[in-house]
Chains A and B, each alone.
Chain A
């Protein structure tokens, strides 16, 4: 017989009428809005910042970067180097465990380093100097080199694009042209695959088996203590909506706030602006070195003479606090970077540029500028460059298209009459181009290197010398030498550094600065 009690019970159990349970309310949740959607889960396969952010939740690294951007042990307990500098042994610390319950072994680390060294720029430099990555036993990783590589810890401890994250050996054996999609790491968060909907939300849970280090957290090093049970990434594609969501208290943290909306965030009593990355982004103008007119270094120098960084930066962000002139081919403010570009960069000498162009023998060759209209932080650069080049007498063809087309076309080595290009712009996270080996914009690898294909054997020799430098003094000298060479050969024109703030609810404390959002150490006041 159906009684009143049965009916009430059924109603309470109905999902259409149910209320969130009390147990759910006890779960401590951090809600975060990433700058873009997470489509690629494998942080080694892609250097996308959002994938690296996700990577730091799920995976850990042998070495991390401290507040001075120096490598310090993270999964490692320490290391030894042979007298000839050719054999490095890294010992794992105790208590490391993957999310599937398996202990982290040296074999996992060796396989992970091997895969990473096939994709990442710094990793490839290490790979080129490496005979093998292997395991002496479950606790000891052995890196056998063919030549000294003084910056080895900087390489495997680099914090961005792409960090050498450690995966189980079975996943690390995946070909580098293929993505790893099973997310098993040894990081402080466990990825909840069942709740992942690309374009909507990503869910992470605190990994109870994670053993943090004892040191204080800084950048990607130290104790990664997680204070939330769940971390939910909510993808909100519209910047105005994400700004409204944090004001309404629907989310706790928005990774990137549009400069136009920053004053509104600043004025809100429950929201603070937070500068995640103190080094920001470096904008660059990249030449195609394979085709005229920019196969001629004199033409490249002439263009650099005409450039003023200010309008490029102003077009991206109006606030002076969010931009910084940088007279260098490397990001200012980072270790080892001296502003050597005084008088070369930012001179805004249009007349001098015109004369230099004539002297270089510029003959009216068409300059095709690839310009993505759907990337707000790059689109103005094409417009400004086109205007400057016209002023100095160049034959400019500005081609507006979407980012997907730009990405496809800029790998074309054909002449401009056959679908090729002359100039394209992009932004680099400063931290990912912080030294002669990682700075793809100045490397001289030619057709094996970054699009634009700047070939310079002298630069490459200097990079190799820097990598194997025995002392910090020698390394600094070689760094400056590489820098001077870049300023002389103009593989790219630096267009200044810009900074984007994120927004956080005022009740969040313990946020760490780094090149990406880090979710340990954060707590609710």
Chain B
């Protein structure tokens, strides 16, 4: 097992290296010039050239890449072209809101979706099953920003229960932190509730037909015991896979949510940096996301062994 984990971790090195080269090349070739954006509307060609030279943007591709990659291996992601702050500092400022949003969203989604999926499978073909599946379809179909605006209008503007926007760090109190995240997390969780509920239902339907479930029922096991102890554990492998992939997909969903609810997270930083061509920031974020994605995949694979003892690496 430990050999497998080591092998998997080592296999991330070429992946991350490839991402580094690919992202750097892509940004190098992409149109747009941060020096021109920085200089503003009144700048002359000479102003732009001077700024480009000052920022080192006039140097060749290999020189810039080697310098950047060298910095990465020393734990230095460089400096933002625009704010002149260390990229590491900028990213650290933005990690907490994004991670908080993901944690609360996933928690909400799991708490709601798994019982929904199990119930739908248990009451297959009933009105309840149809209602749950209709909710799942809506969760997939309605764009998150529409859900966001509607929820904000009702819960924040009309009822005044929740703030419209902004993020309160967890250090300032658990309730203020959570209160600010309920709206964005509820908005973002719709898609995941739908996804996880459908997968749970489909998997549970298959498992509920298995012989060992029939045996458990024949032995007189209670309904909830059959459902949650015998069936659900064996249904967890596909659910965990979907949750894991969902975390990766959530990064793109977070961009919209962070914009709508003014959360200062990594998603917004990514978009802002792309629009203004802040190369060091874009490169660092993509690199971090790639690494996180690889690690999540590894954790999903490892979790299978805990869920299903028959799986061995």
Chain A residues within CB distance 8 Å of chain B? 15-19, 37, 39-41, 45-48, 119-121, 161, 175-179, 181, 197-201, 234-238, 240-242, 244-245, 247-248, 250, 374, 401-405, 407-409, 411, 413, 426, 428, 440, 447-450
Contacts and interface: CB of A to CB of B under 8 A. Distances in A.
Contacts of A241: 152, 164-165, 260-262
B185 to A, nearest CB: 16
Contacts of B171: 15
25 contacts: A16-B174, A39-B83, A177-B47, A177-B51, A177-B54, A199-B272, A234-B165, A238-B260, A241-B152, A242-B262, A245-B165, A245-B166, A247-B157, A248-B164, A250-B165, A374-B275, A402-B275, A403-B37, A404-B277, A408-B33, A408-B37, A426-B41, A428-B41, A440-B41, A440-B42
Given A198-B90, A250-B163, A408-B31, 7 more contacts: A39-B276, A241-B262, A244-B153, A245-B262, A248-B157, A403-B37, A440-B42
Contacts of B208: none
Contact of B149 (A19, A240, A403, A408): A240
Contacts of B82: 39-40, 198
Nearest to A404: B32
A161 B40 CA distance: 10
A108 B1 CA distance: 67
A244 B165 contact: yes
A177 B33 contact: no
Contact of B44 (A179, A234, A374, A448): A448
B46 interface: yes
Given A17-B173, A404-B275, A404-B276, A237 B164 contact: no
Interface string B266-279: 00110010011100
B30 to A, nearest CB: 9
A146 to B, nearest CB: 22
A19 B173 CA distance: 8
B174 A121 contact: no
Contacts of A244: 152-153, 156-157, 164-165
A513 to B, nearest CB: 23
A407 B174 contact: no
A161 B42 contact: yes
A178 B41 contact: no
Interface string B184-224: 00000000000000000000000000000000000000000
B93 interface: yes
A40 B82 CA distance: 6
B51 A411 contact: no
B67 interface: no
A200 B38 contact: no
Contacts of B45: 411, 413, 447
A174 to B, nearest CB: 11
A449 B82 CA distance: 24
A238 B259 contact: yes
Nearest to A445: B44
Contact of B93 (A15, A47, A197, A440): A197
B115 interface: no
Contacts of B276: 39, 404
Instruction: Output the residue of B44, B80, B152, B160 with the most chain A CB within 10 A.
Output: B44
A248 B42 contact: no
B264 A48 contact: no
A449 B42 CA distance: 8
Contacts of B167: 200
B182 interface: no
Contacts of A413: 45
B44 A449 contact: yes
Given A40-B82, A177-B51, A408-B32, A121 B42 contact: yes
Contact of B48 (A250, A404, A411): A411
B50 A177 contact: yes
Contact of A198 (B48, B83, B152): B83
B85 interface: yes
A48 B272 CA distance: 16
B147 interface: no
B78 to A, nearest CB: 15
A15 B173 contact: yes
B53 interface: yes
B47 A119 contact: yes
Nearest to B44: A448
Contacts of B149: 240
B84 interface: yes
A407 B36 contact: yes
A411 to B, nearest CB: 6
